[in-house]
Structure 1
Amino acid sequence: MIKLAECPACQGRGVVQGVFYELDCEACNASGWIDRWLNQPLPLQELAVQLGMNLRAALKRIEQLKSTRSTGPEAYYQEGNRLGAGGTNYTGD
């Protein structure tokens, strides 16, 4: 997995401001991402593979964060007990 960084020329947008309109950023091949260590743009085929791997890692991390359950007093505040007005969560505060 290649570490990616936002392009410093376009700040990750993929376009730079021209005189009258926005132009594709040549520093990153209009992708907004460059190789963090070499500071060079990746070929588009390699970039697609790297972005896919980064996406899968991010989705896995999101699932890990969602699956963690609260314990102790915090758990009482996180779960809905439907005792409040209109069936909302009532915490007794």
Structure 2
Amino acid sequence: MKKSHGPAFRAAQLDLAKCPACRGKAVIRGVFHELACVQCNASGWVTAETGEALSLEVLVTQLSILLQAAEHQIEQLKRPVVMNGPAAQYEQNNRRGAGGSNYTGD
């Protein structure tokens, strides 16, 4: 095992799960009003392995990692699919046909 000093170079991503007490809502319904969930520190998230609440510093980091991953996935889904090869000729209009329509040579 190597000796290491100082913090890790990268923040490790933890597996998060919704809080079983508040079901991820961060509040528990009281008799007359809603109360902050004490099991998850009113965040709605706990560690998946142990079910323990995360400290605020760790929670902010983990939620930021999840948000960045979700934004990256959204950007990947927004990109148009680029076709290559013979299939691209059939999908794009080359304006060589009658009235400027697509001509494929078939």
- TM-score (ref. length: structure 1): 0.72
State the Cα deviation string for residues 21-75 of structure 1 (Å, max 9, x = none): 0000011000000001111010011000000000000100111111142767xxx
**1:70-89 equivalent positions in 2, closer than 5 A:** none
Alignment-mate amino acid for residue 14 of structure 1: A
The alignment status of 1:17 with 2:58, answered yes or no, reads: no
Query: Which residue does the alignment assign to 1:28?
Result: 40
Unaligned runs of 5+ in 2: 1-12, 92-106
**More deviation, 25-34/61-70:** 61-70
After superposing on structure 2, the runs of 4+ consecutive aligned residues of structure 1 that deviate more than 4 Å are none
Query: Which residue does the alignment assign to 1:38?
Result: 50
Unaligned runs of 5+ in 1: 77-93
Task: State the distance in 2 between where 1:12 and 1:36 align.
Answer: 13
Task: State the distance in 2 between where 1:52 and 1:6 align.
Answer: 16
Between the aligned residues of both structures, percent identity stands at: 45
Aligned residue pairs total: 73
- TM-score (ref. length: structure 2): 0.64
